[in-house]
C-alpha cells in the first residue's frame, strides 16, 4: 500500500501521469464502476458526467440532396460579433462576382476581407435598422467560377505572408477567438487552436458523414492552423463506432477524447478540460467544415465554401443533408420538404440547433457558422392545467416527468415556454448540465449587477452562449441566460 | 375553446383595476399554462416550471397532512383516556382532526395569499407561486389548537417582513414558514413553551379547557369541549349511521395525562424519563403530541426520498444535516461517557435516539432544503446542512429555554448561507485567477 502510493507520487512528480495511465497496482474506482472507453480510443478519455442529451424527432438520415433548390446565398454582417453595423460594402447591386471575391470589410479592421461564397450576381444589399447592413444577397450561377489565388507555399512562407493571404482570401473569417467569439486578431499569438470533431447538440449533423471525401482538405487545413499554434482535436469516445479516420488518423495535432452528454461537443467545454482559458491568453476555434474550406484553398487554389447542411426537425418531411454553399437561403434548403400545415398551427425556422440557433424565416439565410436548419412547431396554444398534467410528452431534465422510464423516446418539442419568467429559485440546476468548474447562477447574478471583477473571476471568459444554452433550457425560472451572458460578454469586451 | 374565449373576454384591464387583474391572472394561469413562445434565446424550454415544482412539494406533504389530522384526534381522546388504540374510533378522530386543521389551513392561505396578491397588484407583476409551499408547510408546524388570530398575525409577519420586504419570491433570506413559527414562539412564549397550568391555555393537545365551575373554586382541571356548529353537526350525522359520537364534552382528562413531549421529559430526566412514557417504536411511528405534521417519521422519510428522486429537494443538505447531528451527538456522548451526574443525563442520551425525538426529520426534509434560503453551491450545501445539524442539537440539549432547536438553527444558518457561498465562490475565483 505504501509503496503503491510512493509510486503514484513519483509518477506525478515526473509528469508521467498526465496521459492518465494508472501506475498503481489497484484499479481506480472509476475504472471499476464508471463507463469504460471503447476499444477504438487510442488515448486517455475525459469522462464528463454532467449534461443532458435532448432527443428530438426529425434527425437527418444519411442521404444527401444535391441542393438544386437553393438559388440565392447571403452573407450577413450581423453574424460576426464585434463587426461595426455598417461595414464597407465594395460591391453594388448588379455586379458579377466570383466565389472568393471580396464583398465587404469592417472599417475598424480593413485587412480582413469577407468574400462571396458563390459566383453570381449581387441582387440585393438589404439594410436593417439605422441603415445597418443586414445581408448581401447573391443569385448563384449554375456553374461556379472561382477567383484565382496566388497560394503561398506552406513549408517556407513566413507567418506574415500566410496571415495576409488568409485575410485577403476571406478564409480568416473562419478563425474565431475565445473569449468573446470575435473574428481572430492577426497580431495575437494564441496559446492553442481547438477544433471539435463532433456536435452533440440536438439533431446536429454527423460530422463523420460530412467529412467523407474531404479528408485531404481537412488535413491540409489543420496544417495551416498548425502554423499558428498547437492544434487540438476534440474526438467523441461515446459512439458505438469509431470516428471517421479523417479525424483519428490525422497527423501533427493533439487528440483529446471526450465521453459525455451534451454540451460535451461544444468546443468551450473541451477547452476547459484540456487547457482552460486564462485572463491573459487567447484561444482560436474553428469548425470542421470551415477547416475543410481553408484546406481547399491550399489544395485546390480556390475558395470553396461548400457545406453539408442538415435539414432537421419534426416539421420536415424527409430530414436529410443538402450539399450546398455557405449562406444558403432557408427557402431553398427546405423547398418541398415541409410537412403540410394544419389549421391554426405555425412553425419556426431556426438556423442552427434549437438551443443556440437564431430564429429565421423562409426569407432568411443560413448563418455563417451554422450547418443545420431546424424546423419545429410554435407552441402558441394555451394548455389546460399544462403544468400539472402535461398531455403531450416534452423534453425535461426534471424527475417529475416519467421521461426516465423512456430513455430513448424522441420528442416533438414545441416553442412554448412552459411557464413564466420568475426570479432565480432553484439552485444546482445549471451546474448539473454544465460540465465545467463554473458556478453559472452566481455568474449570471454578477453580470446582472455589473460586477466586472466577479464576472471574470467566476469564469465569464471561458463561456460562449452555446455553453449556457442547455442551462437556459433547463432553467425552472425561465430566465434568459444566453442574453444575460451576451450582455456580460459585451460589457467585458468594452472594458 | 369556448371557455377560453369567455375567460379572455371577462379579463379585467390591467391599468384600470390592477388588483382584479392580478387576481384574475393568478387563477387564469393556474388553470391554463400560458401560450407564450420562446424569443431570443433557446427555442425549446424544459417542461418544468415553478408551479410544477411547488405543487410536487405540496403533494408530498399530503401524507403528513393525512397522518396529522388523525393524530390530532387521537391525542385529544388519549388525553381523556378514551380510545387508546390509534385507529380506534377512526371516524371520530379524523373528523376531529380535520375540524381543527381545515380552519388553520384556510386562514394561513387566505392571509398569505391575500398579502401576496396585494403586493403583486401594487408592483404590477404576476402572482408568484412561492407561497404555495410555505402555505402548505405552515399548518404542519403549528400546534393543533393555535388560536386563529395568532396564526393570522404570524403569517402576515412572515410574508410581509420575511418575504415581501426583501423583494418577493426568490429574494428572501429567512425561511418564511419558520418565521411564522418563530413569531408565535416569541410573541406568545408562555402558551407555546411554558406550563399549561400557568399560562391557562393548552395549545399542544386540542379541545381541552379549564372547567369554569371548578376554576371559580380555584381548582385547575382540564376538561374536553365541543362546538355545536362543527362537532354537533357531525354528531347528528354519526348517530344517523349508528356510529359513536363526540358527546357533550366536559369529560375530565385522564390522571396519567401530562401532555409531556419526549423532549420535555428528556430535559428533566434523560433517556430514562423518556423511556418510561414512550417507546422508541412509538416515537418513530408518531402518535405523540406535538406540531401537526412532525410526528410520523416514516411518512416524512418517504416524502423526502420522493423529493430527492424527483430532483426537487437537495440531498446534500439532508445528508449534511444527518451527519452534523450524528457527529455532535456522538461528541456529547463521548464527553459525558461514564459520568453518573444526573444533570448530564440529556447529554448522555445515545446519539441515535436524537433522531427519534422531536421534529428533526421534518425540518431536514422540508425546511432546511428550501432552495432560496439554503446555500446555493453544492459544496456550500454540505457545510450548511452540517452546521444546522450541529447547532440544532446544541440548542436542543444545552439550551434551557427552548425544547427544540431546529427552527432556530435553520434560521441561524439562513443568515450564514450567503457567507458560506461567498467563501466557496472565492476559492473558485482564486483558483481561476491563479491559473494564468
- B304, part of any domain: yes
Return the percentage of chain A with pLDDT > 90, whole number. 69
**Same domain, yes or no: B183 and B59:** yes
**Same domain, yes or no: B189 and B59:** yes
- Secondary structure (3-state) at B333: helix
Write out pLDDT tens, residues A72-104.
Answer: 999 999 999 989 989 999 999 999 999 999 999
Number of domains in chain B: 2
**Same domain, yes or no: B182 and B312:** no
Query: In chain B, which residues have their Cβ closer than 8 Å to the Cβ of A374?
Result: 43
Picking from A343, A374, A394, A398 by the largest number of B CB atoms within 10 A of its own CB, the best residue to mutate is A398
Closest CA to A359 of A371, A351, A368: A351
**Residues B348, B275: contact at Cβ < 8 Å?**
no
Return the percentage of chain B with pLDDT > 70, whole number. 99
**Residues A335, A69: contact at Cβ < 8 Å?**
yes
Tell me whether B45 touches chain A (CB under 8 Å).
yes
Q: Which of A279, A414, A476 sits opposite B53 (nearest CB)?
A: A476
**Same domain, yes or no: B279 and B176:** no
Task: Give me the helix-helix angle, B90-123 and B233-241, nearest 10°.
Answer: 140
Last residue of a domain, one of B175, B193, B211: B193
**Same domain, yes or no: B187 and B321:** no
Banded pLDDT at B207 (limits 50, 70, 90): confident
Give the minimum alpha-carbon distance from A400 to chain B in angstroms, rounded to a whole number: 5
User: Is the bond leading into A179 cis (omega within 30 degrees of zero)?
Assistant: yes
DSSP state of B159: I
Write out pLDDT tens, residues A216-275.
Answer: 999 999 999 999 999 999 999 988 888 999 898 888 899 999 999 999 999 999 999 999
Q: Which residue of B has its CA nearest to A462?
A: B432
- Show the CA angle centred on residue A11, arms to residues A9 and A16, nearest 5°: 150
* Residues B308, B317: Cα–Cα separation, whole Å: 11
Identify the domain containing residue B25 by its residue range: 8-34+49-193
Q: Which residue of A has its CA nearest to B59?
A: A388
Give the minimum alpha-carbon distance from B7 to chain A in angstroms, rounded to a whole number: 12
What average pLDDT does this structure show over B376-390? 95
Closest CA to A429 of A55, A54, A56, A51: A51
Give the per-residue pLDDT at A33: 60
Parallel, antiparallel or unpaired: strands A102-106 and A88-89: antiparallel
What average pLDDT does this structure show over B53-59? 92
Write out pLDDT tens, residues B114-164.
Answer: 999 999 888 888 888 888 899 999 999 999 989 999 999 999 999 999 999
CA torsion angle A234 A238 A244 A245 (round to 10): 70
**Same domain, yes or no: B165 and B274:** no
- Show the CA angle centred on residue A283, arms to residues A230 and A294, nearest 5°: 65
Q: Which of B32, B47, B433 sits opposite A394 (nearest CB)?
A: B47
Give this complex's ipTM: 0.90
**Same domain, yes or no: B295 and B427:** yes
- B260, part of any domain: no
Which set of grid coordinates corresponds to residue A476? Answer: 425552472
Mean per-residue pLDDT of chain A: 90
Global pTM exceeds 0.80: yes
Tell me whether B4 touches chain A (CB under 8 Å).
yes
Parallel, antiparallel or unpaired: strands A383-384 and B32-33: antiparallel
Contact map slice: B 416-435 vs A, CB within 8 A: 421, 424-425, 428-433, 435
Dihedrals φ, ψ of B331, to 5°?
-65, -45
CA torsion angle A384 A385 A390 A392 (round to 10): 0
- B116, part of any domain: yes
What average pLDDT does this structure show over B14-36? 83
**Close Cβ partners of B134 (under 8 Å, ≥ 6 residues apart):** B112, B158, B159, B176, B177
- B201, part of any domain: no
pLDDT by 10-residue block (mean), chain A, 495 residues: 76 59 61 70 89 93 90 94 91 92 92 94 92 93 90 88 92 93 92 95 94 93 94 91 89 92 94 91 94 94 93 93 94 91 90 94 94 92 82 86 86 89 91 94 95 93 94 94 94 89
Give the per-residue pLDDT at A15: 57
**Same domain, yes or no: B13 and B142:** yes
* Residues B67, B408: Cα–Cα separation, whole Å: 25
Q: Which residue of B has its CA nearest to A359?
A: B40
Return the percentage of chain B with pLDDT > 90, whole number. 45
Banded pLDDT at B215 (limits 50, 70, 90): confident
Give the per-residue pLDDT at A12: 67
Give the per-residue pLDDT at A35: 67
- B261, part of any domain: no
Write out pLDDT tens, residues A280-302.
Answer: 889 999 999 999 999 999 999 99
Check A401 against B314: CB less than 8 A apart.
no
| Count of Cβ atoms closer than 10 Å to residue A249 Cβ | 12
Last residue of a domain, one of B172, B193, B214: B193
Give the per-residue pLDDT at A330: 94
**Same domain, yes or no: B422 and B280:** yes
Give the minimum alpha-carbon distance from A297 to chain B in angstroms, rounded to a whole number: 35
Q: What is the DSSP string of A39-82?
A: TT--S-EEE-----PPPBS-PPPS-EE--TT--EEEE-GGGSTT
Last residue of a domain, one of B193, B219, B234: B193
Which set of grid coordinates corresponds to residue A184? Answer: 481572430
**Same domain, yes or no: B188 and B274:** no
**Residues A387, A405: contact at Cβ < 8 Å?**
no
Write out pLDDT tens, residues B259-287.
Answer: 777 888 888 888 888 888 888 888 888 88
Cα distances from A418 to residues B4, B55, B311, B312, in angstroms, run 18, 15, 18, 17
- Secondary structure (3-state) at A222: helix
Amino acid at each position: 500500500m505504501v509503496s503503491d502510493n510512493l509510486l503514484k507520487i513519483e509518477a506525478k512528480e515526473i509528469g508521467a501521469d498526465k496521459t492518465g495511465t494508472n501506475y498503481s497496482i489497484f484499479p481506480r474506482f472509476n475504472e471499476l464502476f464508471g463507463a469504460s472507453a471503447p476499444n477504438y480510443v487510442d488515448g486517455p478519455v475525459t469522462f464528463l458526467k454532467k449534461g443532458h442529451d435532448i432527443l428530438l424527432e426529425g434527425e437527418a438520415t444519411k442521404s444527401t440532396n444535391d441542393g438544386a433548390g437553393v438559388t440565392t446565398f447571403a452573407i450577413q454582417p450581423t453574424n460576426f460579433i464585434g463587426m461595426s453595423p455598417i461595414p464597407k460594402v465594395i460591391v453594388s447591386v448588379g455586379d458579377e462576382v466570383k466565389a472568393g471575391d471580396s464583398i465587404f470589410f469592417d472599417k475598424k479592421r480593413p485587412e480582413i476581407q469577407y468574400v462571396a461564397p458563390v459566383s453570381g450576381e449581387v441582387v440585393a444589399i438589404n439594410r436593417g435598422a439605422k441603415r445597418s447592413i443586414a445581408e448581401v444577397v447573391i443569385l448563384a450561377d449554375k456553374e461556379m467560377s472561382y477567383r484565382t489565388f496566388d497560394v503561398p507555399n506552406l513549408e517556407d512562407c513566413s507567418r506574415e505572408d500566410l496571415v495576409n493571404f488568409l485575410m485577403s482570401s476571406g478564409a480568416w473569417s473562419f478563425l474565431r477567438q475565445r473569449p468573446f467569439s470575435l473574428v481572430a486578431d492577426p497580431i495575437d499569438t494564441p496559446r492553442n487552436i481547438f477544433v471539435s470533431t463532433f456536435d452533440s447538440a440536438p439533431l446536429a449533423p454527423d460530422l463523420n458523414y460530412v467529412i467523407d471525401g474531404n479528408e485531404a482538405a481537412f488535413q491540409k487545413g489543420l496544417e495551416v492552423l498548425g502554423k499558428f499554434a498547437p492544434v487540438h482535436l476534440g474526438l467523441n469516445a461515446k459512439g458505438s463506432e469509431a470516428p471517421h479516420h479523417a479525424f483519428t488518423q490525422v497527423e501533427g495535432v493533439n487528440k483529446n477524447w471526450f465521453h459525455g452528454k451534451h454540451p460535451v461537443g461544444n468546443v468551450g467545454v473541451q477547452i476547459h478540460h484540456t487547457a482552460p482559458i486564462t485572463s491573459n491568453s487567447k484561444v482560436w476555434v474553428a469548425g470542421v467544415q470551415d477547416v475543410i474550406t481553408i484546406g481547399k484553398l491550399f489544395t485546390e487554389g480556390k475558395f470553396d465554401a461548400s457545406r453539408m447542411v442538415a435539414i432537421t426537425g419534426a416539421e420536415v418531411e424527409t430530414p436529410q443533408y443538402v450539399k450546398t454553399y455557405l449562406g444558403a437561403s432557408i427557402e431553398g434548403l427546405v423547398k418541398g420538404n415541409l410537412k403540410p400545415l394544419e389549421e391554426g398551427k405555425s412553425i419556426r425556422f431556426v438556423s442552427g440547433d434549437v438551443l443556440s440557433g437564431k430564429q429565421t424565416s423562409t426569407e432568411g439565410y443560413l448563418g455563417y457558422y451554422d450547418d443545420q436548419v431546424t424546423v419545429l412547431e410554435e407552441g402558441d396554444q394555451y394548455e389546460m392545467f399544462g403544468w400539472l398534467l402535461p398531455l403531450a410528452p416534452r423534453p425535461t431534465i426534471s424527475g417529475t416527468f416519467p421521461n426516465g422510464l423512456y430513455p430513448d423516446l424522441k420528442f416533438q418539442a414545441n416553442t412554448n415556454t412552459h411557464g413564466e419568467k420568475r426570479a432565480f429559485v432553484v439552485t444546482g440546476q445549471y451546474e448539473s448540465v454544465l460540465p465545467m468548474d463554473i458556478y453559472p447562477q452566481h455568474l449570471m447574478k454578477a453580470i446582472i449587477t455589473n460586477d466586472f471583477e466577479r464576472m471574470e473571476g467566476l469564469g465569464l471568459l471561458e463561456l460562449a452562449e452555446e455553453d449556457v444554452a442547455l442551462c437556459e433550457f433547463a432553467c425552472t425560472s425561465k430566465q434568459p441566460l444566453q442574453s444575460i451572458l451576451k450582455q456580460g460578454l459585451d460589457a467585458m469586451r468594452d472594458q | 375553446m369556448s371557455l377560453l374565449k369567455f375567460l379572455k373576454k371577462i379579463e379585467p384591464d390591467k391599468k384600470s383595476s390592477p388588483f382584479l387583474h392580478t387576481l384574475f391572472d393568478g387563477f387564469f394561469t393556474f388553470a391554463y399554462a400560458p401560450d407564450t413562445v420562446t424569443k431570443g434565446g433557446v427555442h425549446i424550454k424544459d417542461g418544468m416550471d415553478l408551479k410544477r415544482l411547488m405543487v410536487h412539494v405540496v403533494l408530498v406533504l399530503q401524507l403528513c397532512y393525512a397522518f396529522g389530522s388523525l393524530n390530532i384526534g387521537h391525542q385529544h381522546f388519549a388525553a381523556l383516556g378514551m380510545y387508546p388504540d390509534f385507529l380506534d374510533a377512526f371516524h371520530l378522530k379524523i373528523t376531529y382532526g380535520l375540524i381543527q386543521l381545515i380552519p388553520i389551513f384556510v386562514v394561513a392561505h387566505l392571509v398569505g395569499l391575500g398579502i401576496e396578491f396585494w403586493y403583486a397588484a401594487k408592483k404590477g407583476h404576476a402572482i408568484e407561486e412561492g407561497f404555495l409551499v410555505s402555505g402548505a408547510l405552515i399548518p404542519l408546524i403549528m400546534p393543533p389548537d393555535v388560536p386563529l388570530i395568532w396564526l393570522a398575525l404570524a403569517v402576515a409577519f412572515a410574508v410581509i417582513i420575511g418575504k415581501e420586504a426583501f423583494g418577493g419570491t426568490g429574494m428572501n433570506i429567512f425561511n418564511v414558514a419558520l418565521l411564522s413559527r418563530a413569531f408565535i414562539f416569541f410573541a406568545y412564549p408562555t402558551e407555546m413553551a411554558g406550563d399549561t397550568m400557568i399560562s391557562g391555555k393548552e395549545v399542544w393537545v386540542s379541545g381541552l379547557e379549564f372547567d369554569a365551575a371548578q376554576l371559580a373554586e380555584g381548582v385547575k382541571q382540564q376538561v374536553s369541549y365541543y362546538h355545536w356548529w362543527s362537532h354537533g353537526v357531525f354528531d347528528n350525522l354519526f348517530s344517523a349511521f349508528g356510529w359513536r359520537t363526540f358527546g357533550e364534552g366536559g369529560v375530565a382528562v385522564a390522571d396519567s395525562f401530562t401532555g409531556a413531549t419526549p423532549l420535555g421529559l428528556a430535559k428533566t430526566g434523560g433517556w430514562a424519563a423518556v423511556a418510561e412514557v414512550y417507546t422508541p417504536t412509538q416515537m418513530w411511528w408518531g402518535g405523540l403530541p406535538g406540531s401537526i405534521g412532525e410526528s410520523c417519521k416514516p411518512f416524512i422519510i418517504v416524502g423526502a426520498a420522493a423529493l430527492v428522486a424527483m430532483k426537487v429537494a437537495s440531498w446534500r443538505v439532508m445528508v449534511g444535516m444527518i451527519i452534523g447531528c450524528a457527529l455532535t451527538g456522538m461528541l456529547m456522548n463521548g464527553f459525558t461517557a461514564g459520568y453518573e451526574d444526573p444533570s448530564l443525563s440529556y447529554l448522555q442520551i445515545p446519539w441515535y435516539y436524537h433522531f427519534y425525538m422531536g421534529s428533526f426529520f421534518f425540518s431536514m426534509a422540508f425546511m432546511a432544503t428550501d432552495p432560496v434560503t439554503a446555500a446555493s453551491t453544492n459544496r456550500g450545501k454540505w457545510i450548511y446542512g452540517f452546521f444546522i445539524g450541529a447547532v440544532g442539537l446544541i440548542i436542543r440539549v444545552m439550551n434551557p429555554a427552548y425544547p427544540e432547536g431546529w427552527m432556530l438553527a435553520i434560521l441561524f444558518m439562513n443568515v450564514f448561507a450567503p457567507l458560506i457561498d461567498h467563501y466557496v465562490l472565492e476559492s473558485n475565483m482564486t483558483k481561476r485567477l491563479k491559473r494564468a
